Amino acid sequence: MMAQLENGRLSSDDTMSVMTLNSQFDEESSFGSDSEINGFTSSRLTDKYGFIGGAQQYSSDMAQEVSLAVLRQREAKWLDMLNHWDKWISKRFKKVRLRCQKGIPPSLRGRAWLYLSGGKVKREQNIGIFGELDCQDGDPKWVDIIERDLHRQFPFHEMFVSRGGHGQQDLFRVLKAYTLYRPEEGYCQAQAPIAAVLLMHMPAEDAFWGLVQICEKYLPGYYSAGLEAVQLDGEILNGLLKRICPPAYHHLDKHKIEPILYMTEWFMCAFSRTLPWSSVLRVWDMFLCDGVKIIFRVGLVLLKCMLGSREKLKACPGQYETMELLRALEPRYMQEAFLVHQVLELPVSARDVEREHRIQLKRWKKTHGELTYKSPPRLHGAQAIMSAEPHSRLDLRQKPTIIVQYPSDFDSASDFIRLKKRSTIRRAPTKQDIPNPYPLPTDTKPAEEPPHLILATVKPERSHDPQIPNNFFPNPADIKKPNNFFPNPADIFKIANNFFPNPADILKNPVSIFMNPANFFLNPANFFLNPANIFKIPADIFKNQNNFFPNPANIFKNP
């Protein structure tokens, strides 16, 4: 009974009705009522979760305590993960999942939930949107319904105990902003406890984007008109129950108990109205990490524990007794350690959920036709959400690939083998040639491939015989002699036939040096020499002293 009070559930005498037209729950639904306020105690003492006046005594005894040293170690690990979130979620997601299964530290739970759900990325992509929605008045139809539901959400929690308090004000802001953000969906009463749980751990703007992610990525279509997505997931739960626990399935089928009668509150509120608070937090840690398969697992564990044995089935021979049993779950099955262990051991994966979803969707179309509201595809967990909405820092998601490519033209195969031994060559994948959309004119000849330049060091073969006057490279030993390679400039100018005439003679008769330009260009043959005369045999060129190049033998002679 205390677990029901702490989570705002009604007694078994209260009933729930589903309005098929607007897909809303009436004021006497099990999501909360004014009768909860009557049990409020005068004590202002709160437990570690923020619940007032002994509302958590039942779940506190069942909470799994963690030592302070272990808690500090987990906080340090989570701080490192959150500071390098993109790297961890893309490369080490299994470690993130394992730490979520162990439980997120309370001091970092709000930040971790925002990161897991993708709300942080969503907020960064829509900076200022919540402020704009918060300033608007909102649809009066939805505003009136939201205001009537505010005091029903966790009335024993210190945030929502006072009418008009900061908790109820933030809850109103978040729910009103969502009706403006998704006017085609509007407001559903099951969204209020989801938003309230988020507000217990984060500010209003972060809670708004967390609610958006849960409604669009984790539970798409749950809060739209007709509740078709909830009914379809109820059939999926029934199909999985047939495989996991056949006795429970046959018992429910025998008494014509539809899944929508007992699983609506479980799934739409993510068990926040059903389980003790310590178990709620652990379920949400795993739910925001791995997706809706955790919700299916929790529902299957509860059905298996309550209806999985013959003794249990004998105690509920009819439909009424079975429904009463599912409304009043035994505390031992909701205990944190037991429930988490059973959830992790249950062999139900996201692939199983999707396979059953396809089967039930075909059956739904045969019996009910097409879905009225086509919701976006459901994403299973934080990693899938991050892949669908990547952050701007894509370099943290991709492993850089370094390709070393060497020229393929080698003089011999041995050169390539020797080069391959020195380094590891990773060849780039071959890509298909894409034709040029702007081809060159057809009459243009293709450019010829330039010849390969082969550099070779050739050792000159020279003779050191001093008797050969035409040797280009003289003997180094002869250079040290008086007749060295560089003659005396004074001696050079004394020789009339040298290449450089005497400067004194140039200054005496400048006309002889600078010819008349008119006379020079009269005969074009004077300007262009005969190539045949230029490329004569070098020996013949040096014989004629009037040639352009004087005889080197004359240069090196002793004047």
Same domain, 311 and 202: no
pLDDT of residue 517: 54
Same domain, 238 and 376: yes
pLDDT of residue 28: 37
Entry pTM: 0.65
Domain total of the chain: 3
Place 388 in a pLDDT band, splitting at 50, 70 and 90: confident
Is 141 inside any structural domain? Answer: yes
Same domain, 243 and 365: yes
Is 510 inside any structural domain? Answer: yes
289-314 pLDDT tens trace: 999 999 999 999 999 999 988 888 99
Q: Which residue has the higher pLDDT, 393 or 128?
A: 128
272 secondary structure, DSSP code: T
Q: Which of the listed residues 152, 185, 218 is the one where a domain comes to its end? A: 218
75-122 pLDDT tens trace: 999 999 999 999 999 999 999 999 999 999 999 999 999 999 999 999
Is 419 inside any structural domain? Answer: no
Q: Which of the listed residues 358, 388, 418 is the one where a domain comes to its end? A: 388
Same domain, 522 and 381: no
Same domain, 213 and 232: no
Structure tokens at 364: 């739904």
Query: What CATH number corresponds to the domain at position 234?
Result: 1.10.472.80
Same domain, 209 and 251: no
Same domain, 158 and 272: no
36-47 pLDDT tens trace: 443 444 457 888
Q: Measured between alpha carbons, how far is 323 from 336 in angstroms, rounded to an integer?
A: 24
Is 449 inside any structural domain? Answer: no
Same domain, 146 and 279: no
Same domain, 86 and 196: yes
Residue 468 burial (C-beta neighbours within 10 Å; 0-12, 13-18, 19+): exposed
pLDDT of residue 531: 54
Is 21 inside any structural domain? Answer: no
Query: What CATH number corresponds to the domain at position 98?
Result: 1.10.8.270
Is 301 inside any structural domain? Answer: yes
25 membership: H or E segment, kind and range: strand 24-25
Is 368 inside any structural domain? Answer: yes
The answer to whether the beta carbons of residues 557 and 483 sit under 8 Å apart is: yes
214-232 pLDDT tens trace: 999 999 999 988 899 999 9
Is 437 inside any structural domain? Answer: no
Same domain, 78 and 195: yes
- At position 384, the amino acid (one-letter code) is A
Place 380 in a pLDDT band, splitting at 50, 70 and 90: very high
Same domain, 495 and 378: no
Q: Which of the listed residues 326, 359, 388 is the one where a domain comes to its end? A: 388
Share of the chain above pLDDT 90, in %: 51
Same domain, 258 and 142: no
The pair phi, psi for residue 472, each rounded to 5°, is -70, -40
DSSP codes joined into one string, 437-504: SSPPPTTSPPPPPPPPP------------TT-TT-SS--HHHHTSSS-SS--HHHHHH-TTSSS--HH
Residue 104: partners with Cβ closer than 8 Å, 6 or more residues away: 78, 112, 113, 285
Residue-number span of the structural domain to which 540 is assigned: 476-556
